[in-house]
Amino acid sequence: MDYFMDKIGEAITPIATKMTSNRYLSAIKEGFFGSTPILIAGSIFLLFTSLPFNGYADFMAGLFGEGWMDFFYLPYQVSFKLMAFFVVVGMARSLAKYYKVDSKLAIALSFVGIFLLTPIIATEEGLKGLPLDNFSAQGLFVCMISTAISVEIYRWCVQKGFTIKMPDSVPSNVSTAFAAVIPAFLIILVFNFMRMAFVATPFGNAQTFIFSILQQPLQSLGGTLPATMLVLLIEAVIWCFGIHGSSIVSSVMNPIWYALSAENLAAFEAGIVLPHIVNYQFISFFVKLGGVGATLSLTLLCLFKSKSDQYKALGKLGIGASLFNINEPIIFGFPIVLNPMMMIPFVLSNVMVGLVTYLSIWGGLVPYINGVNLPYTIPAIISGFMICGWQGAVLQIVLLLMTGFIYYPFFKACDKQAYEEEQEKKKALTVE
């Protein structure tokens, strides 16, 4: 078994290392990390428009008037409808840091490319503007691709010396700005040609093209049961070898899952049927119940069912973090990493919670997840109630019991072995 584990580790580690160190995946991850607080705040405001209490809407209308929802809708609009802007800032900054170029100019040049590809809309009265949907989840891929291209052109010009060089006596901020004139000209030229090329197609603009050809198929695939099961399997297996599987998976899948959440949230706002079962909240609050591998149940087993001092102490140490969906103390303390005994329930639990959650929503036992973006540290049952009502809270309890049964025989074997070793040491100390 050790030989088998070593061989799998040797095969997985180089692939995972390359994905972790990939500059574009790292930049996307940084972009979403930076936008998360804004999206969470916007989601909480939207949640207040539809709290699941009888008479809530009538009470608020009587207190603040018929337009009371506008107070909560505007924060949602400026967060989710502009989410691509926040992602772009973090992404451009990350790429600029990697290439050691000016991050402020990298961000500004990224927006130049994005705005050139965005069609201008006009009303009958002659008012002109930019469509908000192109900066929401629907336009996310265009904004990320544009950012990557803009920063690449900028760093290429800087590294090749295609910049305006000012005398040493000129202040650094002025010389830096002038150094970006040629890159800015090239970026405007390239994106203007790209805009004209897309206008000549039946799609009319880059956003429609990317959404139809790339983003929509990826969202459709990423929201299916087989694709979700495959992602959860890969994530858990990578973790078993001590590599942060969640970080690798999220850098690839988060743009897709966030887009699916945004579409559910828009439908929730409009009061229509929610379109997707799988989204970011599906993964964060049901699959990762206590963290990847749904290890909250394992922590509770350590806390309440251990005979060995080792696992009792681990349960006390890990329960605080596990309740808030942080499970590194359990993964590395039990350990699950490089432990053939615990690899089986860990991988099985990660896949089974996804399968049971999907089937529960698909079968109508639990409502579709509304897409409200809550902090991932909200404890189970509370988070389930907030995104799916009481049915979501009940489902989390069921998942907790199910994963407890999956972990129990493996936990029991490890605990027994640890207990026997502790007893032998105690006997040896008594004899001495």
Is 289 contained in some domain? yes
Q: What is the DSSP letter of 137?
A: G
Is 127 contained in some domain? no
What pLDDT is attached to residue 125? 80
Residue with tokens 């949640």: 47
Look at the chain and report how many structural domains it folds into: 1
CA atoms of 422 and 419, how far apart (whole Å): 5
What pLDDT is attached to residue 400? 94
Structural domain boundaries enclosing 426 = 1-19+223-432
Is 278 contained in some domain? yes
β-strands 121-122, 128-129: how paired? antiparallel
Is 198 contained in some domain? no
What pLDDT is attached to residue 358? 95
Is 361 contained in some domain? yes
Give me 314's structure tokens: 């681990």
Q: If you compute the radius of gyration of the chain from its CA atoms, what whole number of angstroms results?
A: 26
CA atoms of 91 and 94, how far apart (whole Å): 5
- Number of Cβ within a 10 Å radius of residue 134: 24
* DSSP string of 264-327, one letter each residue: HHHHHHHTS----S-SHHIIIIIITTTSTT-THHHHHHHHHH--SHHHHHHHHHHHHHHHTT--
CA atoms of 85 and 386, how far apart (whole Å): 27
- Cβ-proximal residues to 135 (8 Å cutoff; 6+ apart), any chain: 81, 82, 83, 84, 85, 118, 143
Is 418 contained in some domain? yes
Is 354 contained in some domain? yes
Is 191 contained in some domain? no
What pLDDT is attached to residue 357? 95
What pLDDT is attached to residue 348? 92
Provide block-wise average pLDDT over 10 residues at a time, the chain (432 residues): 55 60 79 76 73 72 80 79 87 91 91 91 82 80 90 91 75 74 92 91 84 73 84 85 71 81 84 88 90 91 90 86 81 79 89 94 92 80 88 94 92 86 80 60
